[in-house]
Amino acid sequence: MPPALRVTAASLRALARIAPPLAAEVATRLYFRVGPPAAVRPQERAVHEAARTSTIRHQRMATTGRKPVDVVVYTWGETDAPGVLLVHGWQSRASFFAPFVEDLLAAGLRAVAYDAPAHGDSGGRRRTIVDDVAIIHRLSDAEPAAWAGVVGHSAGALAGGVALADGVAARRFTSLSGVSSASALAEGFFALAGLPPSLRPQFDDVVRRRRFPDVPDVYERYDLTRRPVPGAVPALFLHDTDDRQVPYRHAELLLAVHADSAELVTTTGLGHNRIVRDHAVRGRVVDHLTAPVPADA
């Protein structure tokens, strides 16, 4: 845990003991706030700079921030090639997928990614799954055909899966170290900050009533165990047993509700982030994306 967050979490735990309602309010503000944007890594620079970039104006959909923000979108590959949408995780950026972009282009595909609000070169200071799903819908509406695939990492996998459950058209779905639900995201935040479980009901009430008043039960809607990816979209879940940020049980939960249309690939020793860069994993994902869709799908 970063030192600044460690101090804030300690203060929040103390506040939870004496003023739980106030602690719940403060906790939701901390929960949605993102730290300094990640920089493009040297090994990602060439791919990052080769992208065609554009900007869309995104109207925030939650009271975590009503002002519109500029979202930077990146595209690689031939304009008429089938498109694959890449959705990055928390405190990451589109360039994190650089090795995948190279693999997709080699397979004759086009790659599209964006820096989520408060990430990379996009504006804002907060990010929510609600915003990500709205952005995915907007990018999908601009596509001339269904995505050849949607690939998400961590929280990005949850956003991509929810968008597919909403009806976004795609031939295939891939989740790398994917989070199973928005509720599980909050659970991970509580564990990281060391907050008492007794505060969770009040925290959830603030999230529903104050942060997302226009979203009918945010925890039910943004939950892939309740609203799975359609069975007509073959899914591939890849997760590492040593993932400390998103425990392996998330993959088991996801497989349980997608058993008839999904496959789970388990790795060991790659953790939460290195799985995205692993050569064998990337090859498995490209094979999944380029495989023919069953005739009865």
Summarize pLDDT for 218-249 with one digit per residue, the tens: 999 999 999 999 999 999 999 999 999 999 99
Three-state DSSP class for residue 156 = helix
Percent of the chain beyond pLDDT 90?
A: 74
pTM confidence score: 0.93
Find the radius of gyration of the CA atoms of the chain. 19
The rounded mean pLDDT for the chain is 92
Mean pLDDT of 272-296: 91
Tell me which H or E stretch contains 8.
Answer: helix 3-18
The burial class, CB within 10 Å (0-12 / 13-18 / 19+), for 255 is: middle
DSSP symbol at 96: G
pLDDT at residue 1 above 60? no
Q: Are strands 83-87 and 110-114 parallel, antiparallel or unpaired?
A: parallel
pLDDT at residue 5 tops 60: no
pLDDT score of 31 more than 60: yes
In 3D space, the residue among 201, 190, 180 whose CA is nearest the CA of residue 250 turns out to be: 180
Q: Facing residues of 58 across strands?
A: 69
The C-alpha angle 200, 91, 141, rounded to 5 degrees, equals 95
| pLDDT at residue 35 is higher than 90 | no
Tens of pLDDT, residue by residue over 66-115, are: 689 999 999 999 999 999 999 999 999 999 999 999 999 999 999 999 99
